[in-house]
Amino acid sequence: MTDAALPPTAFAFLQTRQSHPAKLFKGPVPDRAALLEILTAATRVPDHGKLEPWRLIVLDRAAMARTADLAQAHALAIGADSEKAAKGRGQFDIGQLAVVVISSPKSTDKVPLTEQILSAGALCMNIVTAALAKGWGANWLSGWPSHDPAFIAQAFACTPGETVAGIVHIGTVATPMPDRPRPDLSKLITWA
């Protein structure tokens, strides 16, 4: 494909796109129709024969508050220190809208587990990219609650074998952020 075949703004957008810290987001957030548009575009990921090895949970402000309370209660139940409890709670306290991407691999001999898990990761990145392309701020987070099997079972009804690939916060960027240093590709690429 030649450069002429690409819309001129698409590549420029990819060259400059950046996530924004979720703790700096303010309202408004996308309404249901706008979020469905973002998610429709984002689900155009490799899904290996329409397996769709993931599912999505949309957390609005009220659900974020309930999840924050649950994270704090769980942290205390497992004997976490106050810093860990605050950090687990904090990511849900800060947001008004988030999409939880659950990696939900299907049992099949045709598609390796790793590829199914990577599909969920690709979906997280696509949600961030689609939200940014529509003018929203977006940030892909995880944190200890995302990796605690008991918490995700209670908070997101995860079954054994399911994991949280990411929690994508979406909102209005309150303060533009300077770009961060980017990788030095000369140190990371081997030309074979």
Give the separation between CA 104 and CA 116, rounded to whole angstroms. 8
Residues 6+ apart with CB under 8 A from 94: 22, 23, 25, 169
142 is in an annotated binding site: yes
User: Are 102 and 35 spatial neighbours (Cβ–Cβ below 8 Å)?
Assistant: no
Does 61 count as an annotated binding residue? no
Residue 186 assigned as binding residue: no
User: In Å, how far are 89, 99, 102, 180, 188 from 67, measured between CA atoms?
Assistant: 8, 13, 15, 30, 39
CA 131 to chain centre: 11
- In the chain, the N- to C-terminal Cα span, in Å, equals 23
39 is in an annotated binding site: no
Q: Is 191 flagged in the annotation as binding?
A: no
Separation of alpha carbons 1 and 4, rounded Å: 8
- Does residue 180 have a known ligand-binding role? no
Binding positions for FMN: 17-19, 44, 48, 140-142
Binding positions: 17-19, 44, 48, 140-142
